[in-house]
Amino acid sequence: MFEKDIEFIRSQYGNAEKIALHEPYFDHREIEKTTECIESTFVSSVGKFVTEFENSIAEYCGVKRAVACVNGTNALFLALKLCGVNAGDKVVTQPLTFIATANAIAYCGAEPIFVDVDKDTMGLSPEHLETYLKKHNDVKAVAPMHTFGHPCRIKEIKDVCDRYGVVLVEDCAESLGSFVGDTHTGNFGRVGILSFNGNKIITTGGGGMLLFNDEKLADYAKHLTTQAKIPHRWEFNHDAIGYNYRMPNLNAALGMAQFEKLPMLRRKKRELAERYAAYFGGRFVKDTDGTSSNYWLNAILTANRKEREIFLTETNDAGVMTRPAWTLMNKLEMFKHCETDDLENAQWLEDRLVNIPSGVMK
């Protein structure tokens, strides 16, 4: 049924027999930078690459400060903590997301509330959010996510949050290189977070980053990621229960080599998306007007759940790796009891959406 689609996807990857969903892109620079780091002996929590990487990411994203973290999940947990999310609080997020978003909320002892997404952006719907907030005044924070790199309607979401006095935390794990107008994602919430997991547009092996336009909050975040140690040449004193969340220098060295490639990777991913869009037409999920996605993971829509299963089977059988959208969070055992709204759009997307190979060829 989908032979032509398989042939087209394969043609984008030099007709290779096996095509992964996403692969990291490395060359000699990663070897040079990590070797320099190893030779310096500063491979752990102290070293110049972490600061360099933080400054580079902050400049690229146009935020005042970036604080490196061991991974995106912990960065999101810390972001929520920094915004005052505590045990028993409620946090609105979207059901169509990677589990890390819901888990980070749960780590705070808080309860995720799953509110529907838009069909086109695949991210939290500002209208659905407003309807929920109108009826419930006990929500502490809102944590939308920029799905597969496509920016959600974050300006409208921020407007709703401001009007209802709820703090906004942006899960930008998938959206490094994605913009709303000229503004990088991660500038709209009180805190934003990135992931540098191996499957992301650039990787540090494992890693994450907190994005801030509030310098004081950034200072405190850095303090918490380093065991809340009070700086002193030899004394060990700590003024809070901190975390060992600082990104190791070795990972940041890899990150610096990857950072050099970010504009090229973004350009090539957008070029691949253009070719997919031309081929798949209306089936292809494009970024919306006024936004510019990094096209981290390309997505197409099948006609229905049955067709989705056939597409997944045929492509994976042919060695072309594809995968469905995540099972909605509210269906998972741990989050079944959580409050939701109707989730019609999220269910519509879960039934149809498939991610297709999105890595950049050398």
Ligand X SMILES: Cc1ncc(COP(=O)(O)O)c(C=O)c1O
Where along the sequence are the contacts to ligand X (CB under 6 A)? Answer: 71-73, 76, 97-98, 100-101, 145, 171, 173-174, 195, 197, 208
Report the distance separating Cα 98 and Cα 90, nearest Å: 19
Report the distance separating Cα 72 and Cα 172, nearest Å: 9
Least CB distance to ligand X at residue 195 (A): 3
Nearer to ligand X, 76 or 108 (CB): 76
Contact of 128 with 341, CB cutoff 8 Å: yes
Coil, strand, or helix at residue 229?
A: strand
Helix residue ranges per DSSP H, the chain: 3-11, 28-40, 48-61, 72-82, 99-107, 126-135, 154-164, 215-225, 249-280, 305-317, 344-352
Least CB distance to ligand X at residue 212 (A): 18
Least CB distance to ligand X at residue 18 (A): 23
* Bridge partners (DSSP) listed for residue 229: 238
Nearer to ligand X, 124 or 139 (CB): 124
Least CB distance to ligand X at residue 196 (A): 7
Nearer to ligand X, 23 or 36 (CB): 23
Nearest alpha-carbon partner for 293 in 62, 123, 54: 123
Report the distance separating Cα 112 and Cα 92, nearest Å: 6
Nearest alpha-carbon partner for 181 in 201, 155, 158: 155
Nearer to ligand X, 106 or 164 (CB): 106
- What is each CA distance from 257 to 56, 240, 252, in whole angstroms? 11, 34, 9
For strand 179-180 and strand 139-143, is the pairing parallel, antiparallel, or unpaired? unpaired
Q: For the chain, how many residues are written? A: 362
- Report the side by side order of strands in the sheet with 323-324: 298-301, 353-356, 323-324
Least CB distance to ligand X at residue 246 (A): 15
Closest residue (Cβ) to ligand X? 72
Nearer to ligand X, 101 or 258 (CB): 101
CB atoms within 10 A of CB 218: 22
Identity at 76, one-letter amino acid code: L
Report the distance separating Cα 90 and Cα 237, nearest Å: 33
Nearer to ligand X, 73 or 294 (CB): 73
Least CB distance to ligand X at residue 153 (A): 17
Contact of 146 with 170, CB cutoff 8 Å: yes
Nearer to ligand X, 25 or 148 (CB): 148
Least CB distance to ligand X at residue 14 (A): 28
Least CB distance to ligand X at residue 193 (A): 7
The residue whose two tokens read 């759009």 is: 345
What is the token pair recorded at 20?
A: 């992964």
Nearer to ligand X, 12 or 225 (CB): 225
Nearer to ligand X, 11 or 244 (CB): 244
Least CB distance to ligand X at residue 317 (A): 26
Contact of 38 with 65, CB cutoff 8 Å: no
